[in-house]
C-alpha cells in the first residue's frame, strides 16, 4: 500500500533546489527513483536520498512549479519531516533571492535581507 502524499509548492528553479539540497548535505539525483516503505519505488524528477528506507522528491508540473512528494509515515521513521522541509524551503528562499539580485540591471540596487530564527 502506497503512503505517498503530494503537496504543491512554489518552488520553480530546479538548479537552486538541487544546490539547496546539496548544501544541506543531502544527496540529489535528477530523474531518479524514490524509495518507499515495503520496497515500493516511484520515478521522480528530483530525488533527495535520505538516511533510512524512504526518500523525498519533487515532481515538475506543467506550470513550472514542483510538487513535494513523500511517503510521510516512512520518512518520519528517521526524520522530522516538518523541520527538514522548513530547512529546505528557507535555504531555497535565500538562494533564490541571491540569484535574483545578481540579475543584470540590479548592479546598483540596495537590498536588505532579514533572516529570523
According to the model, what pLDDT value does residue 66 have? 95
User: Alpha-carbon distance 45 to 25, whole Å?
Assistant: 19
For the chain, give percent helix, strand, coil, nearest 5.
Answer: 35, 30, 40
SS3 at position 1: coil
- pTM equals 0.83
According to the model, what pLDDT value does residue 2 have? 59
> What CATH number matches the domain at 4-101, 3.90.700, 1.10.1660, 3.30.310, 2.60.40?
3.30.310
Three state DSSP letters for 30-51: EEEEEECHHHCEEEEEEEEECC
According to the model, what pLDDT value does residue 102 have? 75
The single residue listed with the C-alpha cell 531555497 is 92
Residues of the chain with pLDDT under 70: 1-2, 106-109, 111, 113, 115-117
Q: What is the pLDDT of residues 9-39, one digit of tens each?
A: 999 999 999 999 999 999 999 999 999 888 8
According to the model, what pLDDT value does residue 100 have? 82
What beta strand segments (E) does the chain contain? 4-8, 27-35, 41-49, 56-60, 66-71
Pair 55, 35: CB distance under 8 Å:
yes
According to the model, what pLDDT value does residue 39 have? 80
Residue from 53, 5, 56 nearest 27 by CA: 56
Amino acid at each position: 500500500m502506497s503512503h505517498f502524499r503530494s503537496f504543491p509548492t512554489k518552488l520553480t528553479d530546479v538548479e537552486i533546489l538541487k544546490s539547496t539540497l546539496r548544501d544541506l548535505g543531502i544527496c540529489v539525483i535528477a530523474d531518479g527513483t524514490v524509495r518507499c516503505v515495503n520496497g515500493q519505488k516511484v520515478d521522480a524528477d528530483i530525488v533527495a536520498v535520505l538516511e533510512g528506507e524512504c526518500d523525498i522528491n519533487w515532481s515538475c508540473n506543467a506550470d513550472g512549479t514542483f510538487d513535494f512528494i513523500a511517503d510521510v509515515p516512512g520518512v518520519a521513521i528517521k526524520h522530522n519531516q516538518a523541520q527538514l522541509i522548513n530547512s529546505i524551503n528557507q535555504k531555497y528562499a535565500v538562494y533564490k533571492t541571491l540569484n535574483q539580485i545578481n540579475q543584470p540591471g540590479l548592479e546598483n540596487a540596495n537590498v536588505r535581507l532579514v533572516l529570523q530564527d
